[in-house]
Amino acid sequence: MINSLGLEDKYQPIQSGDKIKYISLSLPNPTGENVIAFTDKLPSEFGLHRYIDYDHQFNKAFLEPLELILHAIQWSAEPRASLEDFFA
């Protein structure tokens, strides 16, 4: 997208070995992709900020890794009712 929008002078394209960040996008969007990667910040010239899928991003980047830890200590991220709650 950097090349197609003529932003080579303002932003560096992703190179092999670069650390990247990624954002989940809702479909449909102008790129037609469900994820976009970038090195520093998402360029505003792309016009993709309104297509960011915050719920999916939260689940993939935060909740799924946390679930591994919660499962190991037999906790849950979602509140659950139990019979102990009824008698407390």
pLDDT of residue 59: 93
At residue 86 the predicted structure's pLDDT band, cuts being 50, 70 and 90, is confident
Residues 11-32: b if buried by 16+ CB within 10 A, e if exposed: beeeeeeeeeeebbbeeebeee
The tens digit of pLDDT for each residue in 20-51 reads 999 999 999 999 999 999 998 899 999 999 99
What burial class does residue 61 get, using C-beta atoms within 10 Å of its C-beta: 0-12 exposed, 13-18 middle, 19+ buried? middle
Taking the whole predicted model, whether its pTM rises above 0.85 is answered as: no
Q: Where are the domains of the chain?
A: 21-77
Half-sphere exposure of 60 (CA within 13 A, CB side): 11
